Amino acid sequence: MKAAFVTNFVGYTGGDLVNICMAQLLEEMGFQLELYLSRPHAFFEAVKCFDEQIGSRIKIYHIPNLLPSPYSEALTLSLIKKHKYSLLVLNDDLPKVVQKVRSERILLYVHFPHIARINYDKIAGDDIDGIRYIIGSEHIKTLRGKLKWMIHSKLFPRVFHHTFKDDRLILIANSQLTASALKIIDPEDNATVLYPPVQSRKIAQMSSHAYTERTGIVYAGRVIPEKGIDELIEAMAIVKKKGYNTVLNLVGPVSTTYKTWILRKASRKGILGQVKLHGYVSRKQLFEMYLASQVYVHPNAWEPFGISVVEAMAAGCVPVVKRGLGGPWCEILGRKERLGFGYDDAMELAEKIILALGQKDRGNIVERALQFDKSVFQRKLLDILVQKFSS
């Protein structure tokens, strides 16, 4: 049996770990794997970043990086459409050329589809935070961004299907929010929800051997306006006024322009010494930061799932997440303040941070994180594949 992956690796993202875990499982099932990648080096960087093992029998084909994702994946499919596979693995969107690809089954794992982004008004309505997250602030505020978005929104429907209809299709969504978005675009879509893999057990084992006194607050992810960082800075100013000088650690890639904006705002609020921007760090450094922190804050209500929330919980951090339709509040915490806290605005965020700083019992938090471990993901995916291939 042969399986082909046509996807785009970045080198350090949760989506990379999803593809690595799928590849590991398919190898164990006896598939001969072929990876068609425009950035093969990013695949090896991801394997190293997550410290995962990949079999030596995988064949990797370098596809010229002529177009940006997702158009590069559509181009790749047009180049291999005459090849024959038992399984074709794709992410997020279904190119029209897939109709010509000779594959018994097509596994489409959807993090959040571009077709939903283009139809953002159907998904977010008039929620400006939702619109900012779905299409990105750049595409709203800058002339270059607006031009790029206009071209993309016109070109995408010509190259990709706006619905996911194919008898061969195994449609999987990473969260209920993503599944709901698919259903809004096409009411007949019925995606299976399978939460993405998290290295929960690995992190929890590190946590059990950590004796560091926990202080401070951490956020990990892209440090961009649509993630709600501005509200987090506002809350930190309130926390300081209430007598807490705890430090906020922002971990993740950040542009020079936005970094300058954050530091200026922190300075105006009198908390410049309490806000630290670390940029991109290694997984080892990230885990160490989790283990040294008492609170993890996720300030975005539209995050489809929230892998970093689960990672921090596995390390014993108390999660404080923004209420909304996203995975952190609805699916990880289950819309309850039993394992962590939810909030609606900067004032409530400050109050919940203070409560979380005083919380000592973290056993149930770690247990919840283990329910999203990569082994759970692979076991459930195996069940799905066995059922689909036997039907």
Model confidence pLDDT, tens digit, residues 46-77: 999 999 999 888 999 998 888 888 999 999 99
pLDDT band at residue 200, thresholds of 50, 70 and 90?
Answer: very high
- Asked if pLDDT for residue 344 goes beyond 70, the answer is yes
Query: Residue ranges of the domains in the chain?
Result: 2-197+374-390, 200-370
State mean pLDDT over 309-334: 96
d(CA 134, CA 94): 19
Distances (CA, A) of 11 to 49, 110, 361: 7, 18, 35
Nearest CA-CA partner of 91 in 25, 1, 14: 14
Q: Please state the separation of Cα 189 from the chain's center in Å.
A: 22
Report the pLDDT value the prediction gives residue 360, as an integer from 0 to 100: 82
Give me the CATH code for the 200-370 domain, please.
3.40.50.2000
Place of tokens 């598939």: 31
Report the pLDDT value the prediction gives residue 363, as an integer from 0 to 100: 80
Architecture per CATH, domain 2-197+374-390, reads as 3-Layer(aba) Sandwich (3.40)
pLDDT band at residue 212, thresholds of 50, 70 and 90?
Answer: low
Task: Quote the pTM value.
Answer: 0.93
Q: Average pLDDT over the chain, rounded to whole? A: 92
Nearest CA-CA partner of 225 in 151, 140, 150: 140
Q: In what order do the strands lie in the sheet with 275-279?
A: 275-279, 248-251, 217-220, 295-298, 318-322, 341-343
Q: What is the pLDDT of residues 360-376, one digit of tens each?
A: 888 899 999 999 999 99
- What is the number of other CB atoms lying within 10 angstroms of the CB of residue 186? 14
Q: Which two tokens stand for residue 283?
A: 């997984």
Q: Which amino acid is at 38?
A: S
H or E, element range at 177: helix 176-185
d(CA 148, CA 341): 38
H or E, element range at 377: helix 374-390
Report the pLDDT value the prediction gives residue 210, as an integer from 0 to 100: 63
Q: Which two tokens stand for residue 212?
A: 């560091």
Report the pLDDT value the prediction gives residue 390, as an integer from 0 to 100: 86
Q: What is the pLDDT of residues 82-121, one digit of tens each?
A: 999 999 999 999 999 999 999 999 999 999 988 888 888 8
How does 103-125 read in b/e, with b if 16+ C-beta sit within 10 Å? bebbbbbbbbbbbbbbbbeebbe
Nearest CA-CA partner of 302 in 221, 193, 384, 191: 221
Place of tokens 């459409």: 81
pLDDT band at residue 209, thresholds of 50, 70 and 90?
Answer: low
Place of tokens 């699916």: 331
State mean pLDDT over 197-216: 83
Report the pLDDT value the prediction gives residue 161, as an integer from 0 to 100: 84
d(CA 185, CA 327): 19
How do 2-6 and 217-220 pair as beta strands? unpaired
Report the pLDDT value the prediction gives residue 131, as an integer from 0 to 100: 83
Q: What is the pLDDT of residues 257-280, one digit of tens each?
A: 999 999 999 999 999 999 999 999
Inter-residue long-range contacts of 258-261, CB under 8 Å, 24+ positions, other chains counted: 258/223, 258/224, 258/225, 259/223
Domains 2-197+374-390 and 200-370 alike in fold: yes
Using a pLDDT cut of 90, give the percent of the chain over it: 76
